Structure 1
Amino acid sequence: MSSIRESTATRLKVLSNREEEWNLRMEMVNSAQRFLVLTTYYFGNDERGGKMADALLAAARRGVRVVLVLDRFGQRLAQNLSRPSQRPWLQERLREIAEAGGLVVHYSPQSLRHRLVGGGVHVKIQVSEGGVAVFGSSNIAHHSFAQWNEVSLELEGDVVAHLLREACRFARLSDDEAVALAGFLPVPRVSAATRRLRYVREDPAGRSGRFFPFGTVHNRLTDELVNLMDSARRSLCIASLYCKPAPALKAALLRACRRGVDVEIFHSHRDSLGVTQFPWIAASIQYGSVLKAGARIYENRAGEHSKMLLVDDREVAVGSYNLEHAAHDRLIEAMIFSDDVETCEHFRALFETMRRNPGNAALTPVWLSELPLQLQVKRWLCRPLQRWI
């Protein structure tokens, strides 16, 4: 089901530098003495995944309560991004973490219908007893820390306890254990300045109709993003792996364009995944109407994996929700909303950096005619399936 919670942070740092976030995550694991809880869509069969797995194993062996949540469907997808020879190694390391006393959860929805269409948990949270939480877009994999653009938040304050409870929920821990782990967190400083935040999480499996995947899915996080987009008066900046939004979000985007809002979309080039172009094909089917409405679309060849919406430089949403059908009707997603002036200024500067990045190429009016004929045929054939790819 959905969760909307007002909270505060005594510290909020935007993590866009890949090595800075990686070093923070590793330091949290290496210094943990009581617990380390980590949720991710997938764990890479690569050097980064190996280093994190080794660190988690070492933590479990020294008595730390290690809880690792992977999405079962997401982990299967990740196999396509790795060499076959690496796959048994990762499974062995996860087995060793469990044998050392850690808990490794391969999350699947309880609903068979949602399992069959790739439902699961897409929220990325890392928390330890040090009182710091990391929340954002990054998976534990090479692509997230050595190729794609990502954005996460480093947080301290009351919001950390809530993120810990959320991660424990995904791990399906008992209420007693979740409370016990929260008891190890330091008490937030009363005298510290705080920033107001709003955390919104939705589980579509709990709000789908009896005939799902047919019919309407009611998603409160989608509704919150629609409301945010509808509040735009001057500018709307969007970053997503691929922008192929559900109808409600597509309609909000077009309404913003009709109001004269300056709409910019930053997402990935068709070659960024390497193994497939189908997600880009599904997104490109939306290009015509979006460009005609006046929006600008930038494609990043290396890959844009952050999930951000900035409205009028005054309110931002950041987290795990890609603007795509899967985020609306299949995956558990979460976003943090903030109207904090300093935070919004950081995201304004971040989007300005993205505009100036030569790796972000703006689509031209002749983009479609420049596509290879084979790719144009694939776009035509995939049009009826765009919701699912």
Structure 2
Amino acid sequence: MQQILTYTFLTLYTVTILGIVLVIITDNRNPLKTLPWIIVLLLAPVAGLVFYFFFGQNLSKQRIISRRTRKRITLQLEEAEHTGCPDLPEQYRPLAQLLRRTCHAVPLYGSRITPYTDGGAKMEALLGEIARAHHHIHLQYYILSDDETGRRLRDALAAKAREGVRVRILYDDVGCSGVKKAFFREMREAGIEVHAFLHVKFPRFTSKVNYRNHRKIVVIDGRTGFIGGMNIADRYVRGTEWGSWRDTHFRIEGSGVAGLQIAFLSDWSATTKRHIAGPEYFPAAKRYTDDILQIVAGGPFGKWRTLLQAESYAVANARRRVWIQTPYYLPSDVLNTALQTAALAGTDVRLMLPARSDSKLIDLASHSYLDDMMRAGVKILFYEPGFLHSKLLIADDALTVIGSANMDFRSFEHNFEVNAFVCDEEFTARMAAIFDSDAAKCHAVTPGEWFRRPRRRRWAESFMRVFSPLM
């Protein structure tokens, strides 16, 4: 009897594994993602089944917010007359069309963008804007830590809520998994509306844990906004034990804030099932500059991977330079090929990475991509003073991409991200100057030096590359 039960279990288990493999194959995923899952399931079926159960299910065909709701929110912006602007430069019209068709990103004119490369300065600017709020504060972060930085923000928001300002907060349930419930309970008791995005809880845990909201958005009175790479935690202000934390964040004033408002209200509607509307959320915007920007809210649900498509298009069409900062480089084949092709064609392609990141395994996988990059002529820069967490893409003289998305599979395929595509020569020149300043603190790796690294290290990199789509 025991043998029959054993054979029955093994048969059912084998059928389950083979069934999952068949589902993965027929799902027509990217082969770079399909193969690692098949390898894990066949070579380590027990661990593979657990990992697939939690992280491997493909929910890209589902929608957490309907097109009708998204269109209704976007219509508020158009009715508020934020979209009137001169024609885009001819070379950027196809990119703008791509962004509009894939995720309804409306071109917005005349914003003022202030960059922050220091976490302390960004935090003080944010607290200053919060103190001046009169009507509403919308705040969304992947990480809200219960530390000194997080408590300063909590207290500032609680004070505004007591004054009658509507304060709404979205946080990622996995990003804040280590935060005690009391931290958010105290906010609610102060009158703040606080909700977790895609709450992780059995039995629906498996369908959500791999799809996280990595966006960093603040909108204050519909007039001032913040976007970028910095979360709310002490390390973004003080750095780590082994070095500084180099990041980039941006304050936006003018019509570009309306794009951030749309992204927040869409996530709020998806999370709370409550729709927020009214002209007070899209006030008339003052013109500060001649720039044109599009706020792009990329995510894993739906047909298109807008951020990957748009950044690959920008790289492929650059003629003079492509400069990139990213903490993690785990690119799709499309983006990787576009960068190599640009370098081979004579474009000045520079890739700045941290000399040391917060994950040794990701470092190994990232470095496996650099051999061919160097052979193609890409200049590799390793930032040495600390952890480079900045996300930046500069293409030629007038296009800059800023926001929350890293250049990796997770940001392009699994996370909810938000980037701004800015068309403006003056802003691009300012960001190029910041890149140059960071480059002075980097070690520029030569091909001879790179290809002499230990063979054991190269083997480890190649092994981890196989699993890079899962990281």
TM-score by shorter chain over 0.5: yes
Q: 1:377 to 1:51 in 2, by over 3 A?
A: farther
CA deviation vs aligned residue, 1:18-61 (integer Å, no higher than 9, x gap):
33321111112233232111111111343222221222233333
Percent identical residues:
23
Q: Assess if the C-alpha contact under 8 Å between 1:60 and 1:97 holds in 2.
A: no
Q: Which residue of 1 aligns with 2:238?
A: 146
Q: Assess if the C-alpha contact under 8 Å between 1:14 and 1:151 holds in 2.
A: yes
Distance 1:6 1:185 in 2: 15
Structure showing greater Rg: 2
Q: Assess if the C-alpha contact under 8 Å between 2:222 and 2:257 holds in 1.
A: no
Q: Which residue of 1 aligns with 2:361?
A: 278
Aligned pairs for 1:131-280 within 5 A: 131-147=223-239, 148-172=245-269, 178-180=276-278, 183=280, 186-189=283-286, 193-207=289-303, 218-270=304-356, 272-273=357-358, 276-280=359-363
State the aligned residue count: 359
Which stretches in structure 2 are left out of the alignment for 5+ residues?
1-62, 64-102, 240-244
Distance 2:336 2:236 in 1: 27
Aligned pairs for 1:70-85 within 5 A: 70-76=171-177, 79=178
Higher relative contact order (CA 8 A, sep 6+): 1
Q: Assess if the C-alpha contact under 8 Å between 2:111 and 2:254 holds in 1.
A: yes
Distance 2:455 2:165 in 1: 53
CA deviation vs aligned residue, 1:109-154 (integer Å, no higher than 9, x gap):
89976624x2122221111117111112211122323332222222
Distance 2:314 2:281 in 1: 36
**Amino acid across the alignment from 1:362:** A
Q: Assess if the C-alpha contact under 8 Å between 2:366 and 2:465 holds in 1.
A: no
Q: Which residue of 2 aligns with 1:37?
A: 138
Distance 2:273 2:292 in 1: 26
* Greater per-residue helix proportion: 2
Q: Which residue of 2 aligns with 1:84?
A: none
Q: Assess if the C-alpha contact under 8 Å between 1:121 and 1:170 holds in 2.
A: no
Q: Which residue of 1 aligns with 2:242?
A: none
Distance 1:104 1:369 in 2: 52
Q: Which residue of 2 aligns with 1:212?
A: none
Q: Which residue of 2 aligns with 1:215?
A: none
Of residues 350, 361, 370, the one that matches 2:443 is 361
Distance 1:169 1:340 in 2: 27
CA deviation vs aligned residue, 1:296-317 (integer Å, no higher than 9, x gap):
2222241111111111232111
How far 1:377 sits from its partner (Å)?
Answer: 5.7
CA deviation vs aligned residue, 1:304-331 (integer Å, no higher than 9, x gap):
1111111123211111121100111101
Structure 1 residue 347 and structure 2 residue 434: aligned?
no
Aligned pairs for 1:309-324 within 5 A: 309-324=393-408
CA deviation vs aligned residue, 1:193-213 (integer Å, no higher than 9, x gap):
542112222222223xxxxxx
| Aligned alpha-carbon RMSD (Å) | 2.6
How far 1:256 sits from its partner (Å)?
Answer: 0.7
**Amino acid across the alignment from 1:286:** Y
Of residues 115, 126, 142, the one that matches 2:208 is 115
Structure 1 residue 333 and structure 2 residue 333: aligned?
no
Q: Secondary structure at the match of 2:219?
A: strand
Q: Assess if the C-alpha contact under 8 Å between 1:46 and 1:141 holds in 2.
A: yes
Distance 1:24 1:327 in 2: 27
**TM-score calculated relative to the size of structure 1:** 0.84
**Amino acid across the alignment from 2:116:** L
**TM-score calculated relative to the size of structure 2:** 0.70
CA deviation vs aligned residue, 1:326-382 (integer Å, no higher than 9, x gap):
11110112221122121111012111111112xx22234334654695x55643442
**Amino acid across the alignment from 1:104:** V
Q: Secondary structure at the match of 2:247?
A: coil
Q: 1:176 to 1:328 in 2, by over 3 A?
A: closer
